[in-house]
Amino acid sequence: MNRYKKLLGNSVVFAVGSLGSKLISFLLVPFYTFVLTKEQFGTVDLIITTVNMMLPIVTLSAFDAVFRFVLDKNRTENTVFVNGIFISFLGSLVGLIIIPILNFFNVPMPEYIYLLLVTGAFLSLMLNFARSISKVKTFAVAGILGTIITAISNVILLLILNTGIKGYLISIILANVIVLVFLTVSTKAWTRIKIKNLNQKMIFSMVSYSLPLIPNAFSWWINSSADRYFILAFVGASANGVYAVASKIPTLLNIVNQIFFQSWQMSAVEEFNSEDASKFYSKTFNYFLAFQFIGTAGLLVILKSLMKVIVSSSYYVAWEYIPFLLLAVVYSSLSGFLGTTYTAAKRTAGIFLTTLVGAVSNILLGFIFVPCLGAQGASFAGFLSFAIVLVIRLIDTKRFMPVIVDKKYFMLNHVIIVGMIIVLFLSRNLVWEQVIELFLFSLIMVVNRELFIEIWHIQKNKK
């Protein structure tokens, strides 16, 4: 099968399963803004952000190693699976120490945070295993199932029983457990777990691969989420709640990106040693770049109208943070694309070092911008730090997988997006604002028309 067809085909399959669950998650945002105060929403956002930061530390990123090692043809999937389970189990036991630590610092509900960590750890491992053994439909159904359970339990616990933050966390834990049971049955996990498959050499290899991904995950977390803590420290929990809502809109673009990455990770590994791998990576990168700017432009066109519909009036001001958060998603996703190159080459130390530079940049820029500009300063720090990571990775990956960027289209896209952002902030006439934004959106579609032509050719050749 043509590799572009395979990449597009896998992306479509992942999309069918993921879009439904992600759409439900997005539609829950108005519900959360209705049942939770800004302070409560800001608090749960910080809890989930903290759990995501701790997850790779507690599990030694075993879920990443499972995905990559199963794709190696010289290893049996059951052996990789068993050793991944063993690493995660040991990590979860050691992770018990976080409960007294959180109690010492008066962090609320430490037991719930630990349960989120453990269930999230094994869920991540099972999802990655299902994807690596080509159980794409199982992977997709798991995502939808988890979201539906979360939505139903949220309505019961938050709206009917009015349990607040505790109910929010319980609903996620419940969804994690039920989806874990579903994945266990679907993959027949119990038949794969045999003590004889435990292998010290395999454990060492997997941990050697995943260890650099732990500080990388922490550094990436700083890049993605440290802004919340700067806002909390310099502005307050209420502002963090508004900022948390603002971050949900760029999630729409990120949803599609994550669907693509699920497919791209597989293609990147499979094609890494091919003769024209650099050409394949470069062409895919430039098409992915085109999609980023088209998606960003599309969201900017409908931004203000969308915010009026989906959030209460007290959250409407959040639109001001969204343009720069969208740019952060663009640079983050392009950096993530190049990060997959390191993964395919098993050069995970490079992922960590480049992300570390971005994390340090984010912290420094956060200290500079947030005290002066408030929450908007956090969005500036975010997109600038991801831009730094992108530039460094483009330079660094030339050593083993050169990715050639079409600089002309890269600059043209930036000019148009900046123009759209300026119009949003300076316009006082909604009608003229929409006219200009639609014109600029049409322009960006013309600039990136090659993307649509390529997709049309792929679809035509399928028939």
What pLDDT shows up at residue 291?
92
What pLDDT shows up at residue 1?
47
CA atoms within 13 A on the CB side of 180: 15
198: alpha, beta or left, given left = phi > 0 and alpha = psi -120 to 50?
Answer: beta
Q: What is the pLDDT along the chain (463 residues), one digit of tens a residue?
A: 466 666 666 676 666 656 666 666 667 777 887 888 878 877 787 788 778 878 888 888 898 889 888 887 667 889 999 999 999 999 899 888 888 888 887 777 888 889 999 999 999 999 989 988 878 788 888 888 988 898 899 899 988 888 888 998 999 999 999 999 999 999 999 989 888 889 889 999 898 888 888 877 767 667 667 788 788 888 887 888 888 889 888 988 888 888 888 788 878 887 888 888 899 899 999 989 999 999 999 999 999 999 988 888 888 899 999 999 999 999 999 999 999 899 888 888 888 899 889 989 999 999 999 999 999 999 999 999 999 999 999 999 999 899 999 999 999 999 999 999 999 999 888 888 989 999 999 999 999 888 777 767 665 665 5
Q: Which residue's entry shows tokens 């983050």?
A: 332
Round to whole Å and give the CA distance between 130 and 124.
10
Residue 360 forms part of a structural domain: yes
Q: Please calculate the CA angle 88-228-260 and round it to the nearest 5 degrees.
A: 60
Q: Which parts of 397-429 fold into alpha helices (H)?
A: 407-426
What pLDDT shows up at residue 74?
67
Range of the domain at 420: 212-463
Residue 35 forms part of a structural domain: no
What pLDDT shows up at residue 209?
86
Residue 327 forms part of a structural domain: yes
Q: Which residue's entry shows tokens 């420094």?
A: 364
The pTM assigned to this predicted structure is 0.74
What pLDDT shows up at residue 54?
83
What pLDDT shows up at residue 10?
66
The two tokens of residue 205 are: 């290899």
Residue 158 forms part of a structural domain: no
Alpha carbon separation from 279 to 107, 236, 315, 403 (Å, rounded): 50, 48, 45, 8
Residue 26 forms part of a structural domain: no
Q: Which residue's entry shows tokens 């600059």?
A: 411
What pLDDT shows up at residue 269?
80
CA atoms within 13 A on the CB side of 334: 30
- In degrees and rounded to multiples of 5, residue 42 shows phi and psi of -65, -35
402: alpha, beta or left, given left = phi > 0 and alpha = psi -120 to 50?
Answer: beta
Q: Which residue's entry shows tokens 């794409």?
A: 136
For residue 239, which of 442, 443, 459, 39 has the smallest C-alpha distance? 39
Residue 74 forms part of a structural domain: no
Q: How many domains does the chain have?
A: 1
